[in-house]
Amino acid sequence: MSVVLRNAQRSVPVRRAPLRRAVCALRAALGASRFDVGLVCAGNALMQRLNGAYRQRPEPTDVLSFPFHQVAAGELPRPRCRGEYNLGDIFLGVEYIHQQCRDAGEDFEGVLVTAAHGLCHLLGYRHDTKPAWEQMYRKEAQILEELNRLTGSRLRPLTAGLF
């Protein structure tokens, strides 16, 4: 199935083809290749509006995930028809991520880590308790390890050191 990518901002240049390929590899590492994913690259203003509307935190953020299905962590959805082969949508706050990477002296590959984090959320992973965080961290590490193997990168999970 497909990864539909939309760049809804102009602050940060986004290389769409490499991002789409990376998200396809991450999705495959999760065993979810047959599901569609929507990916929106957003600026701070849109992320602030969405974060305020859906999480009551009116500030920019790095990622927001909107799952199509409600599943337990690690379970794949069980679609009943073709139209349900959809994981959901991920909004990447690329302006926010770019600033974080710049502040940390890292390159913009942080957007891939954030996409991995968002995909895990679409599949029911959470990080609101220590056991849930540990489970999500292991899954992020696993899929990033696969992406690192394919690309030669050295990416680490976004949730490192959260608890």
Question: Does residue 11 sit in helix, strand or coil?
Answer: coil
| CATH T-level fold of 3-151 | Collagenase (Catalytic Domain) (3.40.390)
Per-residue confidence band for 157, with pLDDT thresholds at 50, 70 and 90: confident
* Pair type for strands 86-93 and 63-67: antiparallel
pLDDT recorded at residue 34: 96
pTM of the model: 0.93
- DSSP for residue 57: -
Contact 118, 93 (CB under 8 A): no
Q: Which stretches does DSSP call E strand in the chain?
A: 3-7, 36-42, 63-67, 86-93
Tens digits of per-residue pLDDT, 79-131? 999 999 999 999 999 999 999 888 888 888 878 999 999 999 999 999 999 99
**Residue boundaries of the structural domains of the chain:** 3-151
41, β-bridge pairs: 7, 92
